Chains A and B, each alone.
Chain A
Amino acid sequence: MTTTQSSEAAPKALAPPAVSTAVLVQNAVIKYGFIFVTVALFLYFALSEGSFRESATMLDTLRYVSVAAILGLGVTVTMAVGGMDMSVGAVAGLGVTVAAKTMVTYNQVGTVAILAVIAAGALAGLLNALLIVVMKIPDMLATLGTMFVIQGTKLILVDGQSISAGMTESDGSTAPGKFTAGFLRIDRGTMLGIPISVLIFGALTVIAWVFLARTRWGRVLYAIGANPEASRLAGIRVGAYRALAYVLSGVLASIGGLILASRIGQGDVSAGTSQLLEAVAVALVGTSVLGRGRPNVWGTALGAVLIGIITTGLTIKGLPYYTQDVVEGAVLILALVFSFTLSKRRTA
């Protein structure tokens, strides 16, 4: 309620610019509500469960979410141009297979595997770009299509079976190689006590943030998402930038795939499938952080951390693993309420 709603002819200049407290509270809820929920949940779990407080648990939580988070960063980049990448889970899975194939079947070192995986991710991104930018297929449908194609390709690549060291190849010979120790360190090793996968997650978050929020290229990607025709008439090569977004998403997804491969330690054919929904959820949750209602890197990273906190916390609380999906889904919907329902109301 405003305090000075003068019906008498009071001089207007004297009336202070009254903004109702209700509006202030609502704006604060929209802006910081999400961060508040994250911190509150963290404190709740930390205070009620001793094991949650241990730094090992926290690092493990971050390690657990790093794959979905990195995939989510890719989705965020495509959302910035007004698109969506549904193929990130499949691309990560392809990364696992390519890593295993390179090291186990072709007996190559870890570095070669890493390069091969990233190349595969970039290639998948190019395929998406071709379908979306050149062939004008709606982003959601195109990437859904590539998702299937990539999953299928992966199976053909390994004759439908998982790849592990010492396995028998289709021609009867024994696979010569194995996952190298260096490669396995990506997820299992630490540096200064912090898991390398968590460090990769952190570094990519910072790089992605600088790229999207501070460089002219990031600015242009957001411009395309907000008004493609105005962007074109501002001299922007819209098609090239949209293609770039999908290639970046593919590369990020393949880096997620590297971590996943290192974690599993074999060429699991089903790897990556479950990561898709988490990655998309994380990026969508991210749009509600800071009440901006638009994709942003810190939001995505924080969204991943929140989902990690909830999953770990509830697991420690003894909630069975099969209830996770419901909880994550509920978090996603709550975040969507934040970014669509509430922030729309504010601007109305």
Chain B
Amino acid sequence: MSPTDKAVDVAAVDVAVSLRDVSMAFGGKTVLASVSLDIAPGSVVALLGANGAGKSTLIKILSGVHTDHGGEVRVAGEPAALQSPLAARKLGIQTVHQRIGEGIVPGLTVAENLVFEELAQKRGNPFLNGRRVLARAREIQAGLELDWSDALLRRDVTELGISDRQLLILARALATRPRLLILDEPTSALSATEAERLFALVERMRDDGIAVLYVSHRLGEIDALADRLVVLRDGGLTDDQVKPFDWDSALRAMLAQAHEATSARPQRSGEHGDVVLGLHGVHLFEGRAPLDLDLRAGEVTGVVGLLGAGKTELARGLFGAEPFPTGKVELDGKPYAPRRPSDAIRAGVHLVPEDRHADALVPGWSVAQNISLPFLKSLSRAGLVNTAKEDALGRGTIDALGVVARDEHSTVEELSGGNQQKVVVGRWLAETPRVLILDEPFRGVDIGARRDIGRRARALAAEGAAVLVLSADVDEVLEIADRVVVLAAGEVHLDAYGEDAERDRVIQTISASV
């Protein structure tokens, strides 16, 4: 297929996609109120908004998932009926969703996944021809300069790492030469270098005349990449800027309350607390230097590192989910070797895992039931669950963390991502931990929720617990941590408090460790 077959004549229209008074309500609750927006070809429009602001709804309307909305969507000047995801794709609107796993077909090769959309079309040769598929896949990857060898194209797609999968999904969307490409949190699972690759691709698309709607919580990315930014709050557009952006205004528009653009770093004063958790000679990876690390009472320790630095291994090891193969750990001076999570919980070591959907939430269950799950024993008498106590626990968490939910009986699916994360964090605060480990607690979480979670974590530390935050985002860690540890390939590269852990030094350490 040559580009001219399906190429959109972008020069003829100056608006790729335009929304006119688009609104949407679920069960009487308005989630989008009269949104109007023109997206020009060859531009990157960043969409900002807190969780629950209506971003997902807007994306779903544009990608043909929600069809019963009010108002009008025009594509290239013509009223468009986006009645199904297929219809949206045919009109040139491609969406890359946040959860990339949904787009990958395990068991097929990388090449087959690349051309999957074309394979799935009704027309064309029904028989898979390995050579033809490979040729087409080669063409796609060459056009995007992915540098993927034939050997890699022939591999099973499940052998790809998460960032390459992301690129694959993106490449597949681009192969159809879309008019509008929607990217929903595309870097949430990527490290800094991997994200750079993605940005280069996005810039190429823009130069090719594709309109890009870029949804992200990472302000740095938006600053570097976007030509324009719009802010959604409570279902309405509250800010619309072109570069250079006024971040103070954007963040205020997004969060309603006044907000200081550069938040004050927590400042540790005086003595360090006692060592709560001591790691001695722990190997996160084989063949790497052993790790020694002390976590102290009253402190938030932030561990920064790229994907594969060993953050998750550290968290899961301390929680007994994947015990460390070597080394010794002491908890309050006593040997601590959890063989399974229940050992850790009994010792007061709690983990908020990285992926709340896969590893924390029970789908279909209420907020209260999700919170009580690890602590049912203390909520029961003779095995019978005291639901009054359980509901009270749920309400308490909702209040303490500012969870936006109808009540404690709402199912977790009814909540936005940030509020789901608050529920998971709240669960592990339901019984006061001695050590709280938060693995990427701010992924896909809006700034408001991030502040609420950060505040609770700091309050817990102030009560004398040791808090460990693991994240790939330097700013997130700096915002919350007293002490910053830079981890790379399972080894500590920096361990500093307060002013010694300032932003540039942390970033330099990370880039030097690569």
* Residues on A facing B (Cβ under 8 Å): 7, 12, 16-19, 210, 214-217, 219-220, 223, 226-227, 229-237, 294
Q: Contact between A214 and B385 (Cβ–Cβ < 8 Å)?
A: yes
- Can you pick out 18 interface pairs between chain A and chain B where the beta carbons lie within 8 Å of each other? A18-B28, A210-B384, A215-B383, A216-B377, A216-B379, A217-B383, A219-B385, A223-B373, A226-B362, A226-B364, A227-B361, A230-B361, A232-B341, A233-B321, A233-B359, A235-B346, A235-B374, A236-B342
Q: Which of B349-406 contact A (CB under 8 A)?
A: 351, 353, 358-365, 369, 373-374, 376-377, 379-380, 383-385
**Which of A214, A216, A231, A233 has the largest count of B CB atoms less than 10 A from its CB?**
A233
With a cutoff of 8 Å between Cβ atoms, the chain B residues found around residue A12 in the complex are 30, 33
Q: Contact between A216 and B363 (Cβ–Cβ < 8 Å)?
A: no
The answer to whether B345 has its CB under 8 Å from any CB of chain A is yes
Q: Contact between B362 and A233 (Cβ–Cβ < 8 Å)?
A: no
A236 → chain B closest CB, angstroms: 7
Q: Contact between A230 and B362 (Cβ–Cβ < 8 Å)?
A: yes
Question: Scoring B residues 304 to 340 as 1 if CB is less than 8 Å from chain A, else 0, what string do you get?
Answer: 0000000000000001010000000000000000001
Q: Which 5 A-B pairs have the closest CB atoms?
A: A17-B28, A216-B376, A235-B342, A235-B345, A215-B383
In angstroms, Cα B383 to Cα A217, docked, is 7
**Which of A220, A236, A237 has the largest count of B CB atoms less than 10 A from its CB?**
A236
B390 → chain A closest CB, angstroms: 10
With a cutoff of 8 Å between Cβ atoms, the chain B residues found around residue A214 in the complex are 384-385
Complex partner residue of A215 from B30, B344, B373, B384, CB under 8 angstroms: B384
With a cutoff of 8 Å between Cβ atoms, the chain B residues found around residue A223 in the complex are 362, 365, 373
Instruction: Name the residue on B nearest A216 (C-beta).
Output: B376
Q: Contact between A233 and B385 (Cβ–Cβ < 8 Å)?
A: no
In angstroms, Cα B427 to Cα A235, docked, is 12
B485 → chain A closest CB, angstroms: 23
Given A216-B383, A237-B340, CB of A17 within 8 Å of CB of B27: yes
B118 → chain A closest CB, angstroms: 28
In angstroms, Cα B385 to Cα A226, docked, is 19
With a cutoff of 8 Å between Cβ atoms, the chain A residues found around residue B358 in the complex are 227, 229-230
Q: Contact between B342 and A220 (Cβ–Cβ < 8 Å)?
A: no
Q: Contact between A233 and B351 (Cβ–Cβ < 8 Å)?
A: yes
Q: Contact between B359 and A229 (Cβ–Cβ < 8 Å)?
A: yes
Q: Contact between B362 and A227 (Cβ–Cβ < 8 Å)?
A: yes
Q: Contact between A219 and B384 (Cβ–Cβ < 8 Å)?
A: no
Q: Contact between B374 and A234 (Cβ–Cβ < 8 Å)?
A: yes
Q: Contact between A216 and B380 (Cβ–Cβ < 8 Å)?
A: yes
Complex partner residue of A226 from B341, B342, B365, CB under 8 angstroms: B365
Instruction: Name the residue on B nearest A18 (C-beta).
Output: B28
In angstroms, Cα B386 to Cα A215, docked, is 9
In angstroms, Cα B369 to Cα A127, docked, is 32
With a cutoff of 8 Å between Cβ atoms, the chain B residues found around residue A210 in the complex are 384
**Which of A216, A219, A235 has the largest count of B CB atoms less than 10 A from its CB?**
A235
Instruction: Name the residue on A nearest B65 (C-beta).
Output: A348
In angstroms, Cα B383 to Cα A19, docked, is 40
With a cutoff of 8 Å between Cβ atoms, the chain A residues found around residue B377 in the complex are 216
Given A17-B28, A19-B28, A219-B376, CB of A233 within 8 Å of CB of B342: no
B172 → chain A closest CB, angstroms: 25
**Which of A17, A229, A234, A294 has the largest count of B CB atoms less than 10 A from its CB?**
A234
B40 → chain A closest CB, angstroms: 28
In angstroms, Cα B344 to Cα A232, docked, is 12
A238 → chain B closest CB, angstroms: 9
B345 → chain A closest CB, angstroms: 4
For the A-B complex with A18-B28, A227-B362, A233-B353 known, give 20 more contacts whose Cβ atoms are closer than 8 Å: A16-B28, A19-B27, A214-B384, A215-B384, A216-B379, A216-B384, A219-B376, A219-B385, A220-B376, A223-B362, A226-B363, A226-B364, A230-B360, A233-B351, A235-B340, A235-B342, A235-B344, A235-B346, A235-B374, A236-B374
In angstroms, Cα B95 to Cα A209, docked, is 45
In angstroms, Cα B383 to Cα A210, docked, is 10
In angstroms, Cα B496 to Cα A146, docked, is 60
With a cutoff of 8 Å between Cβ atoms, the chain A residues found around residue B353 in the complex are 233
B289 → chain A closest CB, angstroms: 29
Question: Scoring B residues 405 to 422 as 1 if CB is less than 8 Å from chain A, else 0, what string do you get?
Answer: 000000000000000000
